[in-house]
A = this chain, B = another copy of it.
Amino acid sequence: MPAVPARLGRRGLAIGIDIGGTKVAAGVVDAHGEVLAELARPTPATDPRMVEEAIMGLVSEFEASYRIWSVGIGAAGWMDQSGSTVLFSPHLAWRNEPLRKNLEYKLRRRVMVVNDADAAGWAEWRFGAGRGESRLVCVTLGTGIGGSLISNGMVERGRYGVAGEYGHQIIVPQGHRCECGNRGCWEQYASGNALGREGRELARANSPVAQDLLRAVGGDPDAITGALVTKRAAEGDPTCVELVQDVGHWLGMGLANLAAALDPGRFVIGGGLSGAGDLLLQPTQASFQRHLTGRGFRPAAPISMAQFGARAGMVGAADMARISARSGTRGTRPARSGT
């Protein structure tokens, strides 16, 4: 029999599972937002049943080693107000999917399901780059753009539960087609997917400036992803740096729109693309300053990179579930912090 880990049974351990457009990331998270164990799987994007199976597998693995108090799911979809049904997911197969009921039946325990971007924003507000901010907007840049608003210690879900879909503000009329069904959505210009698309397009144009990038993928433009462009930008490829700057231009403009409408005290940028760090943050800040309405006559909210990066959704979903289990509720609005 293996030695019992010191942390086994530690009070308030929760599993957080972040279901994104490409990856299911799961972790055991303690009451201070620390990740004690971590697993990841590719997202079975086309079949909701397979997503549920993946979640069950991950929970079982963790339960073999940890005493778990609560399970929280951050899902890249739009939840109804009660947090029981995924109404729609631009990047996954959920359409009016009773995800919570299905999981509670299969796992034989209570489960909290929240929007993945809400979970990420919650993590950054509780433990990360947005700690203590009375009005925090968090955007997560990955397959698309996730968004959340944490105001006075509450996740703002809107009247029908679907607030915060900033990625689907139309910012270029008749622009790029979006998975949501519209054209010109912000996430078609400022997400990891957008970065990959621009990289592939540049490579297909066979421009001299794209030759290094093309060589890196063996001459196959289809192999270029947002993650690859980000990585090469960090390594100093000037063309990839430009592509990240272009994303920063659109990102800053969209944040300026959000400042006009929501007036937060701070923005936090998370998700996979936030790994680009200053390469992305600097052009974003410049574009934000340039496009902020009334600039010079109003405070300009600072923009920070997320502290939890791609782990924010996992940490936030776990924390929201832990708080919800303690307070005996399971809606999508955790009580004020301090609990």
What is the interface of chain A, defined by CB distance below 8 A to chain B? 78, 87-88, 90, 95-96, 134-135, 147, 157-166, 168-173, 178, 180-182, 185, 253, 256-258, 260-265, 291, 293-295, 297-299, 301
Contacts and interface: CB of A to CB of B under 8 A. Distances in A.
3 tightest A-B CB contacts, nearest first: A158-B263, A88-B297, A168-B293
A295 B95 CA distance: 12
Given A163-B261, A253-B173, A261-B258, A180 B96 contact: no
Nearest to A295: B181
How would you classify the secondary structure of chain A's contact residues: helix, strand, loop or mixed? loop
Contacts of A253: 170, 173
Contacts of A297: 78, 87-88, 95-96
A169 B261 contact: yes
Residue among A135, A158, A258 having the largest count of chain B Cβ atoms under 10 Å: A158
Contacts of A299: 159-160
A182 B296 CA distance: 13
11 contacts: A90-B294, A157-B263, A158-B264, A160-B298, A163-B261, A165-B260, A165-B261, A165-B293, A169-B261, A170-B291, A182-B291
B170 A257 contact: yes
